[in-house]
Structures are given as structure tokens and as C-alpha cells.
Structure 1
Amino acid sequence: MAVAPASATVAPGGSTTATVNTAVVSGNARTAALTTGGAPAGVTATLSPTSVTAGGTSKLTVTASASAAPGTYRIDVTGAAGTLSHTASFTLTVSGPGGGTGAPVNGDFETGSLGPWTCESGGAVVSTPVHGGSHALAAAATASQTGECAQTLALSPHTKYTLSGWVQGSYGYLGVRGDATASVWGSSSGYAKQSVTFTTGSSGTVTVCLHGWYGQGTVYGDDISVTS
């Protein structure tokens, strides 16, 4: 049994696929149950189908959440038929926020804490309202502040990206500044998807921002991502 390709690199919030190949080693082809193991917190590994007849294939899908910690991990795929079993490995590298990958760390806020986002006074991770999962970001706009929450990313220079996120509230702003400037505004009583494209300059360093407007109340954001 083997996995092809045997390795891949994804950004937090990304996914990749590989093919699990099985073979008849001796005797008749038997049906093997396939399982995965070793995926770290924030990473899921699924197989489809979860059982194959020797000689068949299964699709391995590995997904890293926005909160997955950067690093290199071994994920095992085991095929078992009766008392026999074989294991093949797949190496997943979750890239860091400074590697030009573009994924904000903790963009889904499922860590339950702000870091590495920073916010003006009153900004917090909340359990309601949320778009997906169990947590979202609250940017506390008041009469004296927009409530900005931000995270700085080191992206690849001279590259086109799309910033996306789900935003709820009055005069919600989602955008970037620094080596590129782009933004989108919206007002919604429920979560609405906001997206804007931008192209980095020579440094690639941008700051992703979510905020409201003076005196307009709290704006909520969830599942914020940057993709190339």
C-alpha cells in the first residue's frame, strides 16, 4: 500500500488530496478497511471510500483549519483485512503565516482567543453570533473608535490575493493596508460574505483589518481568509 503523492504543503485553512493505492501481495484479493491516524489538532484526514478490495484506490483528503499550528506532521493510513494490516504514511507540512501562504492564523477564531489578532478596546472572541464553528470575532465600534481588529501577514511580493470573510453588523469594513490597499464595506443584520482582491507590491507585507464605524455598534467577523 502506498500514498501518492507522499507529501504536500498547505496553508492554514487549506486542504490537499492524495490517492491511497492498494495491491494484492499474495493469494486472493481481500477487502481492507482503511483508517487514518496521527493527524494533529486542527487537521482532519478523511478517506473515501473507507474500505477497498486489494488493487483498488481510495481518496485521502487532508484539511488544515485556520488555527492549525505550522509544522510538519506524519499521517498514517492503515489498511486491515482480518489479522493482516499494512500502513503507509503521508507527510503534511502546514506553512506559517510568514511563508507567503496568505492564510491569517486563527481566521476562524476556533482557538477561543484573539491571538495573534490585536483589537482596539472591547474587541473579543465571542460564542454568538457565529458563522461557522463555535467562535467569531467582535470588533467593538463606539462613538470614539472603529473597533479595529487586525493581523499582519508576510505574503509573496507581486502576487494577486483575495481577502474573504463573513461579516455582520452596520458599516462593517474588511480590508488590507500596507503593501497593498483594498477594502469592502457592508451592512447586514446577519452574516454576509465579503470579498476583495488585491495585489502585493515589493515587500508583500499587509495588515488585514476588520472594523465598524463610529457610533454604529459592534461588527462581527468569522472565517476570514486570504488566498492566492
Structure 2
Amino acid sequence: MNAVPDTVTADAMTFDQLLQSRHSCRAFLPDAVARTTIERILETAQRAPSWCNAQPWKLVITSGAATEDFRRGLLEHVTTLKPAPDIAFPREYRGVYLERRRACGLQLYNAVGVARGDREASGRQARENFRLFGAPHVAIVTADSALGPYGTIDCGAYVTTFLLAAASHGVGCIAQAALASYSPFVRAHLGIPEDRIIVCGISFGYEDRAHPANQFRTARAPLNDVVDWRS
């Protein structure tokens, strides 16, 4: 069978540029994103693929006083109660996955000036998750619990599409499992029904490009590390 000759289209180049430029934003400006811009992002994200087109995702999105109230309540909550996520966290990071996780953390700590072994400083940086990194908005992504793991997988595709759509509008984002680790608080605070699984949060807004936390970029594994070619 002859292979179709490879061509690089304008769409492919644009998509590659978008992926290359997108990164997890860990410091935001206080400026709100216009509702019309958020709606455009959501309309694009709604095109995410899902099993049988079930589209199991639902979101709660905060702005203004609602964001500040959520931020304040979350920060108070995490200092007194233990994590209780709806979705079990990884049993362990091992091998190359542990190496990549450590490399990412080391890059962040180097960027913001956290010295190795400084637990107080690293804890302070970790708490930035619950301050939403100063973002003016947060989206809480939930799935229908009856759909089980595959509904959650569909939400993962939605989150990726949301992040890329936001980047195309110049809006910074960070997907945060940390917010889902306190699901009981999130559910109660935002009035989310018990039959919805809290998958993650997405803090978003306009990037503070001068902040040290936004100065590093993570690497990606080469294809031979992730693909087993068969012919």
C-alpha cells in the first residue's frame, strides 16, 4: 500500500503553533475576561469529542465576587481538612513518570526561587493552587457519575479543548486536580449535585507575563518513548 505524500497545511501549522505556545499559567492579572470571550471559548470547547456524543461535562464558572468568595473559602478549608477527591489520585508515580513530575516541580521551584528542601517555601507555592494563582475566574468541570470512568475520560478531552480554545483567544489557563481534591467543599460551596463527579478546576484569565512562575516551559517526550510502531 502506497502512503499518501506528506503535506503541511496552514491549519496544521496554526494548530502546532497553538500547542507550542500554550502552557500552564501560574500567575494571572486581575483583569476579568469579557463574558462574550468566555462564551466563545465555551462554544469551541463544546465541539470536544465524547463517547456516543454523550457530552457528559457540566461547568460552574465564577467571576468577580463569586471567585473571591470561592478563593477565600477554599483557602480556609484546606488548612483544616484533609483531601477527599471524587476521583482517586495516582497510586504512585514511578519510573519515567516520577522523573517527569520531579523535573516539572524543579523547574517551577527554580523559577520562583524555592530552594531545595525549603518546605515552608514549597508549601507556600503549593497553596497558590488554592488561591487560584490569582485568577479572576475558575471553571469547575463535573461529569455524570453514572457514566463512570469513560465519562471522566470524555471530560479530559473537553478540558484539553477548553485550554486550547482559551489560548487561541489569548486567555491563560491552568487545569487543577488540586481543586478536585477537596470535592466536598467545592460541591457544597457551589451547590453541585451529589450525582456529579468533580473532575478538576480550570483557573483562567490573562497571564501575568512578567511573573517568574510563567517563565519556564516543560519538555515533551520524543515519539520513540511513547509509540511502538508495528508494520
Query: Normalized against structure 2, the TM-score is what?
Result: 0.25
Structure holding more helix per residue: 2
Structure holding more strand per residue: 1
Structure with larger RCO (C-alpha < 8 A, sep 6+): 2
Query: Normalized against structure 1, the TM-score is what?
Result: 0.26
Of structures 1 and 2, the larger Rg is shown by: 1
